[in-house]
Amino acid sequence: MPPSVPSVPRRVARTLRTSLFAQVLCALVLGIVVGKLWPETATALQPLGDGFTRLIKTVISPLVFCVVVVGIAKAGDLKAFGRIGVKALVWFEIASTAALVIGLLAANVVGPGRGMNVDPASLDTAAVDETTGGGHLPTTTEFVLNALPQSFIGSFAENELLQVLILACLVGAALLHLGHTKVPKILPAIEQAQEIIFAVVGFIMRLAPIAVFGAMAHLVGNYGLGVMRTYAELIVLCYAAAALFIALLAVALKAVTGLSLWKFLRYIREEMLLALGTASTESVMPRVMQKLRRAGARDDAVGLVLPTGYSFNLDGASLYLSIGTLFIAQAVGVDLSLGQQVTVVLVLMLTSKGMAGIPGSAFLALSATASSLGAIPAGAVALLLGVDRIMDSMRVVTNLLGNCVAVFAVSRWEGALDIDRARRTLDGEDTFPPEDGSAEDRDGDERVAVEAGSEALVPGIPAQKPKDLKASKEPAPDAG
């Protein structure tokens, strides 16, 4: 008899039960519906998303530390690690400058703020102060000093990624200097700690659909969908410019590594959807780090380039800042000359590097840019208060893809990328068990449970097919 085909409801239920992508997608839609129908109730759901982000942040610093230390120790060459860092900074500067220029060109061509004729005196600048919390962007000196750790434990407690990176480099260099004969047990212990952290990430990821539901319901309930009609031209322009930049990223990735960005997007679709739902790239950093390693990027390259990119390579934010600056100028009737627009690029190249982790950083950067020009009232940045959260999706996607492409490109540049493995992984030929103890099939749409004691739980070993699981239960031949 031919095998029975499960009914559609059973197949849907199975997909929802086993696919994180389907769970997050349903939570995203449900959050929008709840936010639209019951906005007052929806605004109280923000702690669901914030709680998930807090849990993820607790493991980011120790994970980055472990990956970088292990990467340096296994690579056995501190000079190579230094070259990776320099090449990453070069790539970051080129990519973020390209994003700024694309944003300025798009805003000049479309002119989203022309004809608004806004009186800056009529704007409520107090709302900007409330959003930024009275903070300020660090100067170059402050930024450099803040990147240097004051305390080993404090850097982890405050989740300062740049400080953790510096500590990891020092520890990795010390392991290389002392050699495995003097400290033979340290490196295996750090590797085991890394595996434990990835397991913890797998547990936390089970809460991802709840987090996305709460974050999206709060966003829609608090800001509504009407703002999209008011700022439709600006929103469409920002997303179109981001799409153009991502297309350029795809061309760059293909030219440098021969890999397809669209296949990579499919490979990290769960993480991308989660980042969109929570409006945070930090919430997916641990999973993305592991997937990049599985896709052939060497540990030291992933451990250095990706976390550093979270501070130095904010391509989506750069796009938004350049478009936002010209939008504000056009809205208040200020015509910026070519020289002033070049100044905008130069100022934003500096201010965008110190934005990560600062509340209301986009408004602080826009205010700093307006003040440096002297032609735009700094209070005019209040024009973007209503649309700023709508831009989160654009910034998140562009920032995340920009940093992932940087990992592949710098790894290839340094010879730290296994191209054959990367192609097999992105094509779905190499399958790996995800962190929660289940395994994906080649298409990635279905998963089969893997027994706790099976070989598929060992990282790097492909998950067994169901028929293999049955065979694995047979007694092994006597070794004696």
| CA atoms of 319 and 327, how far apart (whole Å) | 12
Higher pLDDT, 378 or 20: 20
* Residue among 98, 445, 23 nearest 266 (CA): 445
The pLDDT > 90 percentage for the chain reads 18
- pTM confidence score: 0.75
CB 22 within 8 A of CB 12: no
| CA atoms of 151 and 131, how far apart (whole Å) | 30
Distances in Å between the Cα of 34 and the Cα atoms of 31, 38, 42, 218 are 5, 6, 6, 9
| CA atoms of 463 and 454, how far apart (whole Å) | 9
| pLDDT band with cut points at 50, 70 and 90 for residue 463 | very low
Return the structure tokens found at 473: 């239960």
Most confidently modeled range among 3-12, 58-67, 346-355, 389-398:
58-67
Q: What is the dihedral sign for C-alpha 463, 465, 470, 475?
A: negative
What integer pLDDT is reported at residue 449 of this predicted model? 36
| CA atoms of 325 and 336, how far apart (whole Å) | 10
Using the predicted structure, report yes or no on whether residue 412 has a pLDDT greater than 90: yes
Using the predicted structure, report yes or no on whether residue 456 has a pLDDT greater than 50: no
Count other Cβ atoms within 10 Å, centred on residue 259.
23
Long-range contacts of 152-159 (CB under 8 A, 24+ apart): 155/61, 156/61, 156/62, 156/65, 159/57, 159/60, 159/61
Burial category of 374 from C-beta neighbours within 10 Å (exposed 0-12, middle 13-18, buried 19 and up):
exposed
Using the predicted structure, report yes or no on whether residue 314 has a pLDDT greater than 50: yes
Residue 351, CB half-sphere, CA atoms under 13 Å: how many? 27
| CA atoms of 215 and 56, how far apart (whole Å) | 15
- Of 117-126, 329-338, 408-417, 448-457, the one with minimum mean pLDDT is 448-457
What integer pLDDT is reported at residue 402 of this predicted model? 93
| CA atoms of 72 and 167, how far apart (whole Å) | 12
| CA atoms of 216 and 126, how far apart (whole Å) | 26
What integer pLDDT is reported at residue 263 of this predicted model? 93
Which residues is 17 bridged to in the sheet?
none
Task: Work out the mean pLDDT of the chain and round it to a whole number.
Answer: 77
Using the predicted structure, report yes or no on whether residue 246 has a pLDDT greater than 90: yes
The pLDDT > 70 percentage for the chain reads 75
Return the structure tokens found at 370: 């307006």
| pLDDT band with cut points at 50, 70 and 90 for residue 343 | confident
Which residues is 447 bridged to in the sheet?
440
Name 433's Cβ contacts closer than 8 Å, sequence gap at least 6.
439, 450, 456, 457, 459, 463
